[in-house]
Structure formats: structure tokens, C-alpha cells
A and B are shown apart, each in its own frame.
Chain A
Amino acid sequence: MDLRQEVYTLNLGPQHPSTHGVFRVLLTLDGETVVDATSVPGYLHRGIEKIVEDRTYAQVIPYTDRLDYLAGMLMNWGYVLAVEKLAGIEVPERAEYIRVIVGELSRIASHQIAVGSMASDLGGLTGFIYNFRDREYILDLLEMLSGSRMTFSFMRIGGVASDITDEFIGKTREFIDYFPKNGIEEYNNFITGNEIFQARSKNIAVVSREKALDMSLSGPVLRASGVAHDLRKVRPYSVYPHFDFDVPVGENGDSFDRYYLHILEMEQSLRIIEQALDNLPDGPIMAKVSRNFKPPVGEAYAEVESSKGILGVYVVSDGTTKPYRVHFRRPSFINLGHFDEMIKGWKIADVIAVLASLDIVLGEVDC
């Protein structure tokens, strides 16, 4: 019998439980195998870059929280770093240390979502909840400082909003003691070591070193392909040269490496936080910044290593209280550029797994 066969189109998203928000991808499928794919981002576009042209420099900070809402501190940091570079502001050392501490805490919180959503997108919801259990500690810590659990707006141009207290330091040390044993070890036993998890992620959607560099990937997605490129090491900003930490690198560039790097990076972040707490200098937490802040005419570009990759912020000033133009180089968006190629030839189930391993946040992708 001669059966007619044809490929069909499946519209995955924007309303779908595991597209991490409102991401949409048009899949052309042969049975369950992906023949072709077209990503359609933009459903969460809020025009932040345009909105902030009508806000004063300080008022922009809350908008940056809404980019990568899982690591709001790092988004704040990228923006204030660019403005400080533009205006030539020297940030006090204590403020830099506080930035490092909250930034790394925010990075761990973001990586926990990456690890957890990888587990839940592969069908193991319990792994997701374990990550949320431990993320609660970090959110409590950051809430203690900023009063907010998600959109912190904690950093200021020239420093940070509030000083850290002894209570915060004590609780953070408790977390550093607690987390490797009760958190990371459990993730490794429960998720990383699981046979089905490994079968579902090892050698899936391999990105070669050359391809990763060509596509301008960054963050754990790039390092999984074997490129030891971490801005905190290669172009250090803030006080990162003071700390001793490693840049974990993957070997195969597959989904598993992309996932596992998140866990390894959590360990390194803990090391950084511990050193920062030990060597915390005294002093002010804000530089002298005028209330009517007007940076000189010019432009500046600053980059930070966010949890998803390189966050670049470009600020142009025309000498008034409002930026003339702000542009964000969003790592999630650029990492997603290779997604269509990566999933070709894999199954529907792998599409979800690969998307989870890329660890995108739609607020950042669509800006």
C-alpha cells in the first residue's frame, strides 16, 4: 500500500507551557523529527530602549530589572557601569564589593532556575521544586537588602542603595555552608546523575567551538563548547581581579554540558561570595553624584558577564538629564540566534530540552 506522506507545521507557542514565557517557534515536522524551524520572538517586546529615552538616568534602573528578571542585580549592574563609564564616576570599593556579593547571589538564583527548568522541561518536576526551595534563601537575602524579591533596583549610579548589615553577612555565610551540601549535591544526585536525564541531554544539539564563536554566543552556552571566555576573567571589571575563582569549561558543547556548567558556576560564585565577605573593606557605599545628574556629551559601552552571557549596555548622552539613546546587547537574544540550526534533525521533545539548556529569559530576548 502506498501511503501519502507529508511534513506538517506545528506552531509551538507563544502559549505553551515550556517556552519559558511567550517564545514562539514554527516547526516543520516529519513525524516527530524537526525538518525546519523558525523562531518568532517579540511577543514580550515592551520597547524598553525607547521608553528609557524619556526617563532620567536614575529612572532607567527599574527598567533594567525587567530585562532578565531572574537576575535583576546583574542587569542593574550593566547599566550603571555604562553610565559610570560615561560620566567618569569612581565607585567606592565597599560598594563594588557589595555589588559583587549581590551580583553573584543573583547569578546563583538565575542558574538555579536554569537547572530547575531543564529538569522540569524533561518531565521531572521535582527537580524544579528543589531548586526553588534553595532559591528562596537567596531571595530572602536580597529582599533583606532591597525590599524586593525579584525586581531589586538595588544599584545606583555611583554605588548601591543600602549598606549590608551584620545580619545579612551572617545569613549569607549560613547559606554558603548550607548550599553545597544540601543544594548542589542534591541536584547532582537527583538530576545530573539520572540515567534518563543523561540520555536525554548528552550529545544532543552539539555546538562546535567554531560555530559558537561565529554565532557570537556567550555565557555558559559558549563555555560549554570549550571556549574559556568569561568577562570576569578575560576583561575584568569591578573588583573581580581580587578574587580567586575558576572558569568551568565544557567539552562537547551538548545540552548536558550547557546544563552542567550552571551547576559548576554556582560553586564558583559561592567561592567569590565567601572571599568578598572575608575581605569586605570599610568606607562609603556611594560616590558623590549630583541629584541633577547630567553626564557630559558622549557615549559609552560597558559589558558585564550576566548569568546568561555578555550583557552590553550602550549609552549615548546629549548632555541633558535623560539619555539620548540606550541599547542593550541581550545575551539570551543572541544565544537564541543559533537555536533554529541547533534543533534541526532532533525530536519535538529535544526542542524543549535544547531551549531549556540555552536558558533564555523572554524579558531579555524581547526587551
Chain B
Amino acid sequence: MFETIFVDAANWLRNLLISINLSPFVVEVFLHVVKMVVILVFVLLNVMWLVYMERKVSARFQCRVGPDRNGPYGLAQIFNDVAKLISKEMILPTHVNKKMYLLAPILIFAPPMAILAVTPMGEGMAAVDLNLGLYYFVAIAGINTVVVWMAGWSSNNKYSLVGGMRAVAQMVSYEIPLLLALVGVIVLTGTLNLNGIVDAQKSAWLIFTQPLAFFIYFIAAMAEANRAPFDLVEGESEIISGPYTEYSGMGFAFFFLAEYANLLVMAIMTTTLFLGGWLAPFGWTFIPSWLWFIIKVYFVIWVVMWMRWTFPRIRIDHLMNLAWKFLVPLAIANIFVTGLAKYFIGI
């Protein structure tokens, strides 16, 4: 019963709408709007939970307790945080490029939302079952760079500018190993559809058949999401807060929350591409597929947080060396070996 709870709900809604004699086109449009709203709520709920989780996880790593005053176990902390940020004035410095400065925090949420529209979060639970899902993901994820650069450039602040330049250099460089690592996945699964990729992992998860690609993808995705040890864009001990230095109030809150939305997207994509998506391991299908998906996503998020609170920050030239001299050749070698294996063994 729980396995199909969301699919059933969608079907129930569709039948209800058809029963009141709406045209099929209107029904589909309405359903899609509902799905998008559900995704929006899903992202916001997760982001709020992640802010709290990061505080608690970091506290545990640092021999602290973390927030515990607001509500049970400090769970209400995030509401207070957001209420504070909303009630603060969003300062508009006189020297900024106003249009871009105000547009950047609005656009920063668009890529994660757009990507989540195509990811299957359970059996038959992708809002849009897109044939070019993986291609779409890579294309949309790249937009993030533009938004961060908009914030960095329009702030007209040298710290922001340095942060923006770092963002462009870092994100563009790491797109390449990320893409090349995904080629191995495409070669093995033979599809760009994310549902298809999950289905293809029924015999073995891609983390076991493509360990090197997973390794490269994970590093590159961390760099794309600006998570430590690749958080050079923010680099709070060097360039204050990078592109977000000049933002206050809601503008800052958007960037702050978008960081976690991006983390969520990164974990979801890692799960979908390499950890078997919503597939149940050991044949434990008594846990519904969407719950398995959430469990795996949160495991990935926990690993990312673990790394963040363990490693110091890498330097910009080391970062570039890692991408171009190490990850790109490895990724190409991985494609070559995967291709040979596919040709000769025909996995």
C-alpha cells in the first residue's frame, strides 16, 4: 500500500478531474502544476531540515551540542533563522548593478528545481519522464555558474569579484570531468533517461561496475556544489563570503538556502546515477521505493557533511591541477576501458 501511495494519489486526482468532465489536456496541465508544487514543497522542507542537520552534524563533529533551545531538540531553530533573515532589511548598496544584483538571488533557486522535475524519486515517480534526462541535468546544472557570477560581478566589490571569478573557473573546469565520468554511465546503460538508468542498475549498482566514474563524479559534483574542501567560492577565511558578501536579509537567505538545495540535488543525482536510485538493496522491498530513495540520499548528504567538517580548503591552483591533470585523464581512461569492456565482454 505504501509502495504506490504517491502514484495512487496522482491517479486518484486524475480520475477525479476526468470525472468532472474536464478535457484531458487541462487535466494533464493541472496535474503537472500540482507535481511542481509538490517538488517545491519537497525541496523547501528538505532544505530546512538540512540547515538543521548540518548544524547538528557539525556540532557532533566538533564536540558540541548544536542548537537545542528552540523547540524539542532545537528543531524550531530554522524557523527562527528564517524569520530573522526575513525581518532584516535587504541593503541595496549604491554602487551595485541593481538589476543583476536583485535578479541573482531569485534565479539561484531555478536550477535545482528544474533538475528535480526529471529525477525519479520512487518507482514511476518522476514528475516528467524525460528521454534526455541526463543531458537535461548537465545542461541545467551549468546555469548555476552564471547566477553566481551575476552575484559576484554586480556586487561591485573586490571580494565578490574574486569569488565570482573563482566560481566560473572552478565550475567550468569541473563540468568536464563530471561529463566525462557520466559518459561511462551512458555507455553501460545505453540510455539518457534517468528512469532507464535506474532500471539498468537492477542487476548491479553502477558504483560497483563504474567505481572510477563514481569517484570522479563525486569529487566533481562536490566542486560543482561548492562544498568543502572545494568551497573556494565562499572561502570565508579568505574572501569573506565571496559573491554573497554584499547580500543581506532575504537576498542572503536565498543564497544560503540554495546552497542546501544544490546539495540535495547533488545527493539525488549521485543516488540516481550510481547508487541504484529507488531500487531496494538485498531485495528488501518491504520498505517502499521512495523511502529507500530518501535513505540513500541522506546517506550521501551525510558523507558530504562529514567531508566538509573534516577537510581544510584546497587552493585555487591545486584545484585546477586536480581537475585538468588528474580527473580529466582518469575519466578519459575510464571511458576507454568501459568501451573496451562493452565491446569484448558485452556487459
Chain A residues packing against B (C-beta within 8 Å) = 8, 10-11, 16-18, 31-32, 119-127, 129-130, 133, 190-191, 194, 196-197, 199-200, 347-352
Contact = CB atoms under 8 A, between A and B. Distances in A.
Interface string B202-240: 000000000000000000000000001101100111111
Contacts of A129: 62-64
B98 interface: no
11 contacts: A8-B158, A10-B158, A18-B238, A32-B316, A119-B312, A123-B231, A126-B61, A190-B310, A199-B314, A200-B315, A349-B315
A20 to B, nearest CB: 11
B229 A196 contact: yes
Nearest to A11: B158
Given A18-B238, A129-B64, A348-B239, A122 B162 contact: no
B35 interface: no
B313 interface: yes
Contact of A352 (B165, B228, B237): B237
Contacts of B310: 124, 126, 190
Contact of A349 (B58, B64, B228, B313): B313
Given A32-B162, A123-B228, A199-B318, A17 B236 contact: yes
Given A18-B237, A126-B61, A352-B238, 5 more contacts: A123-B235, A126-B62, A127-B312, A200-B312, A347-B316
A124 B238 contact: no
B315 A199 contact: yes
Contacts of A125: 58, 62, 309
Contact of B240 (A16, A120, A350, A351): A16
B311 interface: yes
A123 B237 contact: yes
B89 interface: no
Interface in B284-331: 309-318
Contacts of B236: 17, 123
A308 to B, nearest CB: 21
Contacts of A347: 315-317
A185 to B, nearest CB: 15
Nearest to A199: B318
Contacts of A32: 162, 166, 316
Contacts of B58: 125-126
A363 to B, nearest CB: 21
Nearest to A18: B237
A192 B238 CA distance: 21
A121 B315 CA distance: 12
B225 to A, nearest CB: 16
Nearest to A33: B317
B232 to A, nearest CB: 8
B309 A123 contact: no
Contacts of A120: 237
B212 to A, nearest CB: 20
B235 A349 contact: yes
Contacts of B240: 16-17
B235 A126 contact: no
A196 B318 CA distance: 9
A124 B312 contact: yes
Contacts of A122: 237, 312-313
Contacts of B315: 199-200, 347, 349-350
Interface in B73-110: none
B61 A17 contact: no
A124 B306 CA distance: 12
A334 B215 CA distance: 47
Contacts of B61: 126
Contacts of B235: 123, 349
A306 to B, nearest CB: 26
8 shortest interchain CB distances as A-B pairs: A123-B313, A124-B312, A122-B312, A129-B62, A18-B237, A123-B312, A121-B237, A349-B238
A133 B63 contact: yes
Contacts of A200: 312-315, 318
Interface string B223-263: 00000110110011111100000000000000000000000
Nearest to B315: A349
Contacts of A133: 63
A194 B236 CA distance: 20
B311 A194 contact: yes
Nearest to B229: A196
Contacts of A31: 165
A121 B312 CA distance: 9
Contacts of A191: 312
B314 A196 contact: yes
Given A32-B162, A199-B315, A130 B63 contact: yes
B64 A124 contact: no
B312 to A, nearest CB: 4
A10 B165 CA distance: 15
A115 to B, nearest CB: 13
A126 B228 CA distance: 12
B136 to A, nearest CB: 33
